[in-house]
Copies of this chain bind each other. A is one copy, B any other.
Amino acid sequence: MQMYIFSVITEAFKTKGKKDKDFLKGVSLMEETKSNWPQGIKRTKQRERVLFILENAKDPLSATDICAKMEDGKGSAWLSTVYRILELFVKKGVAVKTNVMNQEMAVYEINHPKHKHYAVCINCHKIIKMDNCPMENFTPELEENGFRVVGHNLEIYGYCKDCDHLEK
Chain A interface residues (CB < 8 Å from chain B): 39-40, 90-93, 97-99, 102, 106, 117, 119, 121-123, 128-132, 134-135, 138, 140-161, 164, 167-168
Q: Please, which residues of chain B bring their CB within 8 A of the CB of A148?
A: 158-159, 164
Q: Please, which residues of chain B bring their CB within 8 A of the CB of A121?
A: 147
Q: Which of B128, B129, B152, B160 contacts A155 (CB 8 A)?
A: B152
Q: B146 touching A161 by the CB < 8 A rule?
A: yes
Q: Which of B106, B142, B168 contacts A128 (CB 8 A)?
A: B142
- Tell me how far the C-beta of A163 lies from the nearest C-beta in chain B, rounded to whole angstroms: 9
Q: A140 touching B149 by the CB < 8 A rule?
A: no
- Tell me how far the C-beta of A40 lies from the nearest C-beta in chain B, rounded to whole angstroms: 5
Q: A141 touching B150 by the CB < 8 A rule?
A: no
- Tell me how far the C-beta of A42 lies from the nearest C-beta in chain B, rounded to whole angstroms: 13
Given contacts A149-B119, A151-B157, contact A134 B132 (CB under 8 A): no
Q: A102 touching B98 by the CB < 8 A rule?
A: yes
Q: Which of A40, A93, A99, A134: most chain B Cβ within 10 A?
A: A134
Q: B134 touching A138 by the CB < 8 A rule?
A: yes
Closest A-B pairs by Cβ, 8 of them:
A146-B161, A134-B134, A134-B138, A150-B158, A149-B158, A131-B141, A152-B156, A99-B99
Closest to A122 in B: B91
Closest to A94 in B: B168
Q: A154 touching B154 by the CB < 8 A rule?
A: yes
Q: Which of B92, B119, B132 contacts A147 (CB 8 A)?
A: B119
The distance in angstroms between the C-alpha atoms of A150 and B134, with both chains bound, is 17
Given contacts A152-B156, A154-B153, A168-B40, contact A140 B132 (CB under 8 A): yes
